Amino acid sequence: MAFARAFVPFPPSSSSRPSLLFLTISHLSVPFQSIRNLTVSASSSALNSSASMEMEAPKTHRWRPMCLYYTQGRCIKMDDATHLEKFNHNYSADLKVNATCLNRLRPQDLDYLLVLDLEGKVEILEFPVLMIDAKTMEFIDAFHRFVRPSLMSKQKIMEYIEGKYGRFGVDRIWHDTAIPFKDVLQEFEVWMTNHHLWEKDQGGSLHRAAFVTCGNWDLKTMIPKQCKISKIKMPLYFMEWINLKDIYLNFYKRTATGMMTMMRQLEIPVWGSHHLGIDDAKNIARVLQHMLADGVVLQITARRSTASPDEVNFFFGNRIR
């Protein structure tokens, strides 16, 4: 069964300049005005680009919320025309790019970028990952699971989820689909293995891929905390990451404290619900695509010490703290 998701309507855009990356959909967009190599490449063309990078979609394209049963492989209404009209079942619809922008891409050390945006403060409640091709900016695949806390009482979980996801209208979906963190990691490892991103018997690190986060919190703080709660050893593939905030700061030479600031400065309309993990991951992926189109070269920004896992080395002197 599918349940509607609640969204706050956004006012029409007053900007006379189109989004650099995506078509602005007036009734759903927020109006905005606007280690490997340790040097982030920048150019004046990236800062003052006038080339429009629009979605490869017809003018009739409209944003729709993702079916959150589908994102977890559990949608049973794929033959229901009303359901398919109401909910999106195609990640690529919001992440397409114009092929003409490929001319401005810079060579990358990585093949794939895994955009990760965790939700949950006491324990992880949502684990979404979007796989982006670093060479073409194309969306490849997604992994999305809701995560069931292991230490909270049932009453606490009910209160926590109602406060967190009830406002989006997806609390029922969370209760229907959430699984323990240990199970999420097992399924995630199968997903990564299927995409040749990771092999357990080859040291456990990612193969020519890296996590991309909007900040250090996800992998510096929350993953180690959840692993301790779940009484599991932290996997080696979580040992390093790319903090997009630091890349953004060094590339554009301006500060963005979070996803919303980046999107405002780059004039990218916000789609979906902020703090619903899968929607935030898609919006972060759109910022990433925009930056790749502007010519950014990505590098690992933080790595955890294997000898002392609590110690994290940050590779950019100029970074968001």
**Neighbouring-strand partners of residue 116:** 129
- Biggest CA–CA distance in the chain, Å, is 55
- Lateral strand order in the sheet of 240-243: 179-180, 139-148, 126-133, 112-116, 209-213, 240-243, 302-304, 312-314
| DSSP code for 46 | H
Collapsing DSSP to helix, strand or coil, 77 comes out as coil
Query: Can you tell me the distance from the alpha carbon of 173 to that of 69, in angstroms, rounded to the nearest whole number?
Result: 7
119, 126, 240, 267: which is the annotated catalytic residue? 119
119 in active site? yes
Query: Can you tell me the distance from the alpha carbon of 298 to that of 161, in angstroms, rounded to the nearest whole number?
Result: 36
Query: Can you tell me the distance from the alpha carbon of 68 to that of 145, in angstroms, rounded to the nearest whole number?
Result: 9
Dig out the tokens for 245 from the structure.
């905030």
Dig out the tokens for 207 from the structure.
């193969």
141 and 299 Cβ atoms separated by less than 8 Å = no
DSSP letters for 176-229: HH-EEHHHHHHHHHHHHHHTTSB-GGGTSSBSSEEEEESSSIIIIIIHHHHHHH
83, 175, 275, 311: which is the annotated catalytic residue? 275
244 and 115 Cβ atoms separated by less than 8 Å = no
Collapsing DSSP to helix, strand or coil, 25 comes out as coil
Query: Can you tell me the distance from the alpha carbon of 126 to that of 161, in angstroms, rounded to the nearest whole number?
Result: 11
Residues present in the chain in total: 321
275 in active site? yes
Amino acid, single-letter form, for residue 54: E
Catalytic residues: 119, 275
